[in-house]
Structure 1
Amino acid sequence: MIDMPPLQFAETNGIRMGFYEAGPRTDTPPVVLCHGWPELAFSWRHQIKALGDAGIRVIAPDQRGYGATDRPEPVEAYDMEHLTGDLIGLLDHLKIDKAIFVGHDWGGFVVWQMPLRHAARVAGVVGVNTPHWDRAPMDPIALFRQRFGDHMYIVQFQDPSREPDKIFGSRVEQTFDAFMRKPVARPPGAPEEQPIAGVGASARLNLAFPQMIANYDAKHDPRIPILSAEEKKVFVDTFTKTGFTGGINWYRNFTRNWERSAGLDHHVRVPALMIMAENDAVLPPSAADGMERLVPDLEKYLVRDSGHWTQQEKPDEVSAKLIEWRRKRFG
């Protein structure tokens, strides 16, 4: 049985946002959990229960474009100003002054922006796998293209034909079968790319996820799934209904976000925690090297034997660390 609190709704920043809440409303500062792509508030189901049971107020929204939350049509409606503004509107709706923002994957990029753009509303920040970086020296899409080539998934997502959206949308179960698995444990010194059945080396090396999904067959995949059949059904049913365009539109704002962040001070001046996953091939622990320069009040914590979906692969460890850090820093 999947244990999730009842779905609630907030009118925020011009959209209706679905969210879940647990723990005592008197607890401050509350913890806001922000998911990544292609995920949902449901990705935090283990932490919602653990933090709520520990007496911590916890809130997990389906973010703009996802799940029970609205999916505006214009691509620009998914830029960083909108994504951070949605979370401020959620605090306003709940009459919360300040919160600790926790983000995984794309949610991590959003929560690291919160203290830069809305400092008065942020008590602390936790990145799960996603580190905080300074503003890139050039347009990130040009950087990705230079480093990984045109087949890298984020570069492909810029294509106005929306071909990747169609590939994922027509193979929803395949998408979650392929993504939501533990990585193959690799011997020390072995390269980070993991062989995935039916996918050529070039697709893996270029992070060509649409092609990987188009050619994927779960029957030949030796990796262990991290979702039960019941959990997978939640993702598959939701994305079958919503499609993937809302979430992919976040990626279509990389250039816009970069252009509009010129002049923004990238120093984070609140207590921060960086949770890293040992075997995340996309956001490896090394990606967090040197973060201390921008985030002076930083604690780092490594989750061993976990791939990219850390809060679902190692739920008890992630929950315990969040509870321990929250109590240590905020009482």
Structure 2
Amino acid sequence: MFDPADFPEPTRVSVNGVELEVFEAGRHHAGEPIVLCHGWPEHAFSWRYQVPALAAAGHHVIVPNQRGYGNSSRPSEVTDYDIEHLSGDLIALLDHYGYDDATFVGHDWGAMVVWGLTLLHPHRVSKVINLSLPYQERGERPWLEFMEEVLGGDFYFVHFNRQPGVADAVLEENTSRFLRNLYRKNVPLREPEPGMVMINLANAETPLGDPLMSDRELAVFVSAFESSGFTGTINWYRNLDRNWHLLADVDPIIRQPALMIYGDRDAVARSEDLTAFVPHVEVVSLDCGHWIQHEKPEETNRAILRWLEQQSAV
């Protein structure tokens, strides 16, 4: 298990009208920059196993707590969390460090941001590495409308939007229990329960499967969310249809070299036509669930470093 004391100390960086809490390793301008983008409900600390490995390979590793998370700014307007703002923060971070472009790595919602960033600012992204969430085709109808019809009003993306504030309050009231119950591995398959999955997790007395991390590691996440609350982070979901509209006129093809890492037991669906939108993609599958870089840190690092080495040899 990782000792939280070994994670880099943060700095606060003013970018794009907000302040981001940023963790770094490696030397500035000494190697190719690589930006690690966490998902929900995560934290820069989610990349604790990747940071030292990437720095040792010569990269300048930049790991922000994105807006809404940790000690980064938490704007009050929902629209301040759309893809233009989230990608704008990352572009401004590159400007702050004086980089023209970087390799961007995303997990879960972080992957959604990296895909969107690459579409909106293609010249600032040299390579793409995403975990769990593949490229999401824009489709004919707004994402939320489609999800509500197919998955129903209790699906958590829909619930977050249609019942604002309800889940936020339950998660904040049960922060420690929610995160303990969420961050699990080897969770047995079972029939979905009625109700909204995240609220159910926050209220469940007994966690399923095995703990994903040590108590000290989990405490980093619990402490961060007890301080920040969940509303800013859930506001990312409340911009799903706004993002659909914002991406209407961009070229939908990702032309950069890309690595897509799936967990074989992840509930997130794989893309059936990934190469149609990401033609230069390599796909790797690991024997794990959703929390790929936590569950299989060494295998994740090997896959990323091997692929980066191959790309530098091209």
Native 8 Å contact 1:167 1:213 kept in 2: no
- CA separation in 1, counterparts of 2:164 and 2:36? 32
Residue 193 (structure 2) pairs with residue 201 (structure 1) = yes
Native 8 Å contact 1:29 1:98 kept in 2: no
Q: 1:263 Cα deviation (Å)?
A: 1.7
Question: Structure 2 vs 1, CA of residues 27 and 183 (structure 1 numbering), >3 Å: closer, same or farther?
Answer: same
| Paired AA for residue 163 in structure 1 | V
| Paired AA for residue 275 in structure 2 | E
Residue 173 (structure 2) pairs with residue 170 (structure 1) = yes
Instruction: Specify which of 294, 299, 305 is matched with residue 317 of structure 1.
Output: 299
Native 8 Å contact 1:98 1:120 kept in 2: yes
Residue 23 (structure 2) pairs with residue 20 (structure 1) = yes
Q: 1:269 Cα deviation (Å)?
A: 0.9
- CA separation in 2, counterparts of 1:26 and 1:328? 21
| Paired AA for residue 259 in structure 2 | L
Aligned to 2:256: 270
The root-mean-square deviation of aligned C-alpha atoms, in Å, is 1.5
Aligned to 2:199: 211
Q: 1:214 Cα deviation (Å)?
A: 4.2
Q: Which stretch of the first structure deviates more once superposed, 110-119 or 21-30?
A: 21-30
Q: TM-score, normalised by structure 1?
A: 0.90
1:25-174 map, 5 Å: 25-159=28-162, 161-174=164-177
| Paired AA for residue 168 in structure 1 | L
Aligned to 2:224: 238
Question: Structure 2 vs 1, CA of residues 291 and 161 (structure 1 numbering), >3 Å: closer, same or farther?
Answer: closer
Q: 1:222 Cα deviation (Å)?
A: 4.2
- 1:281-320 deviations in Å (ceiling 9; x for gaps): 1x13xx222110111111000011x111101011111111
Q: 1:55 Cα deviation (Å)?
A: 2.1
Residue 297 (structure 2) pairs with residue 297 (structure 1) = no
| Paired AA for residue 329 in structure 1 | Q
| Paired AA for residue 144 in structure 1 | M
Q: Which stretch of the first structure deviates more once superposed, 158-167 or 148-157?
A: 158-167
- CA separation in 1, counterparts of 2:147 and 2:235? 17
The size of the alignment, in residue pairs, is: 310
Aligned to 1:253, the other structure's residue is in SS state: helix
Question: Structure 2 vs 1, CA of residues 307 and 239 (structure 1 numbering), >3 Å: closer, same or farther?
Answer: same
Q: 1:322 Cα deviation (Å)?
A: 1.1
Q: Which stretch of the first structure deviates more once superposed, 46-55 or 119-128?
A: 46-55
Q: 1:274 Cα deviation (Å)?
A: 0.4
- 1:156-195 deviations in Å (ceiling 9; x for gaps): 101354110001010001111111000335xxxxxxx536
Unaligned runs of at least 5 residues, structure 2:
none
Aligned to 2:75, the other structure's residue is in SS state: coil
Q: 1:120 Cα deviation (Å)?
A: 1.3
| Paired AA for residue 221 in structure 2 | F
Native 8 Å contact 1:167 1:210 kept in 2: no
Aligned to 1:59, the other structure's residue is in SS state: strand
Query: Structure 1 segments of 4 or more deviating over 3 A?
Result: none
Percentage of identical aligned residues: 39
Q: Which stretch of the first structure deviates more once superposed, 22-31 or 52-61?
A: 22-31
Aligned to 1:188: none
Aligned to 2:213: 227
Q: 1:30 Cα deviation (Å)?
A: 1.2
Residue 1 (structure 2) pairs with residue 5 (structure 1) = no
- CA separation in 2, counterparts of 1:309 and 1:30? 24
Native 8 Å contact 1:184 1:194 kept in 2: no
Aligned to 1:190: none
| Paired AA for residue 276 in structure 2 | R
Aligned to 1:158, the other structure's residue is in SS state: helix
Q: Which stretch of the first structure deviates more once superposed, 132-141 or 117-126?
A: 132-141
Aligned to 1:16, the other structure's residue is in SS state: strand
Question: Structure 2 vs 1, CA of residues 27 and 293 (structure 1 numbering), >3 Å: closer, same or farther?
Answer: farther
